[in-house]
Amino acid sequence: MKQTEKEFAALVQEQKSTIYSICYMFSKDKDEIDDLFQETLIHLWQGFEKFRNESKIETWVYRVTMNTCISMDRKEKRRGERIPLAVDIDLFDENDKDMEQVQMLYKRIQKLGLFDRAIIMLWLENLSYDEIGEIVGISAKNVSVRLVRIREQLKKQ
């Protein structure tokens, strides 16, 4: 394996749960998660060599993942030949106690619009308002206003 490939594999290994959980929140079934996950990895790989450390690598990963999840949803799943990814877990089919919690989270997030979904996912990743704003392209103040509205919306559910 070349050095770049090794570095990319290490990045994917490190960020896989973040990428996968975001893909999960934008999907309706396991196939769709795999589609999004694959598409995100392709986009990350395409941009990896050009990445110039102008922002934190994590911020860049969030941005690419969010953009992929939102644009794939808008294009109504552009499905080509799918590369099977060896992630054995099926988050839609597991039935343990932890999964009850995860599925509750999923249901809550699914009720939000795509943009709000992106903001809450980034907030759940413990990102600051500034970082969230930088990724989704709005000001930190707007992020805070949006989060208040999201909180109210969630309370009503």
Partner 1 sequence: MDELQEMREQMAALKEKLNKQEVVNDRLIRDVLNQKMKVINKNGWFSSIAGLFVITFGNFIFYQMGLSTWFLIGTTVMMIFCVAVTWISHSWVNSNEIANGDLLRVAKQAYRLQKVYKNWKYIALPMILAWGVWLGLEYTAIVQDTTIVLVTMSGGVVGGLIGGIIGFRQNKKVINELDEMIRYIKEISDLDEENDKEEKGV
Give the binding site for partner 1 (CB under 8 A).
12-13, 16-18, 20-21, 24, 41, 83-89, 91, 94, 98-99, 101-102, 104-105, 108-109, 120, 123-126, 147, 150-151, 154-155
| Closer residue to partner 1 (CB): 52 or 97 | 97
Instruction: Give me the least distance between CB of 103 and partner 1, in Å please.
Output: 9
Closest distance of CB 49 from partner 1, Å: 17
Q: What is the closest distance, in whole angstroms, from the C-beta atom of residue 46 to partner 1 in the complex?
A: 14
Q: How far is the CB of 54 from partner 1 (least distance, A)?
A: 26
Q: Is 80 exposed, middle or buried (0-12, 13-18, 19+ CB in 10 A)?
A: exposed
116-144 burial, b if ≥16 CB within 10 A, otherwise e?
A: bbbbbbbbeeebebebbbbbbebeeeebe
User: In terms of CB distance, is 77 or 108 closer to partner 1?
Assistant: 108
**Measured between alpha carbons, how far is 54 from 3 in angstroms, rounded to an integer?**
21
Beta carbon nearer to partner 1, 16 or 77: 16
Give the 3-state secondary structure of residue 69: helix
Question: Closest approach of Cβ 92 to partner 1, in Å?
Answer: 13
In angstroms, how far is the first alpha carbon of the chain from the final one?
49
**How many angstroms separate the CA atoms of 148 and 17, rounded?**
27
Q: Which is nearer to partner 1, 101 or 139 (CB)?
A: 101
Q: What is the three-class DSSP state of 127?
A: coil
